[in-house]
Amino acid sequence: MAMLKIVKGDKHLLIPAGAYKKQYAPVGWELEGASKAKESTKEIAKPVEMVAEESEEKVVDEWDAAEEEVEQEKEKTVDEMSFKELQAKAKELKVDVRSLKTVGDYRAAIRDAIK
């Protein structure tokens, strides 16, 4: 992502290049190192390269791993499900729930439907 360094008084920010024109330039922020005479809101300095400690590939891998963990957490066993989750699972599996009264009944019916 292209980033810009901007200054207003003694405050310094590093912002996305697209945000400068719309949000920061109209309220008095200036590009760092640009002279006031040459500065205009129509003109944007070259983006500053972000230096990351980790490579982009490693970050993507970490996100993939986190998504896999979330998916695994979503897939609870029948024994770990709450009564509402059991009801939803029974509905998903199209289990006849008219005679089911207890959590144990729901768990047994869902196990039978899965087999």
pLDDT tens for each residue of 4-50? 888 888 888 888 888 888 888 888 888 887 645 454 544 555 555 55
Residue 34 inside a domain? The answer is no
Return the pLDDT at 115.
Answer: 84
Instruction: Please state the pTM of the whole predicted model.
Output: 0.38
Amino acid at 81: M
Residue 69 inside a domain? The answer is yes
Q: Are 24 and 41 in contact (CB under 8 A)?
A: no
Residue 62 inside a domain? The answer is yes
**Mean pLDDT of all residues belonging to the chain:** 76
Q: How many distinct structural domains can be found in the chain?
A: 1
Q: Is the pLDDT of residue 67 over 50?
A: yes
Return the pLDDT at 42.
Answer: 47
Q: Which domain holds residue 101?
A: 56-114
Work out whether the CA dihedral 102, 103, 104, 109 comes out positive or negative. Answer: positive
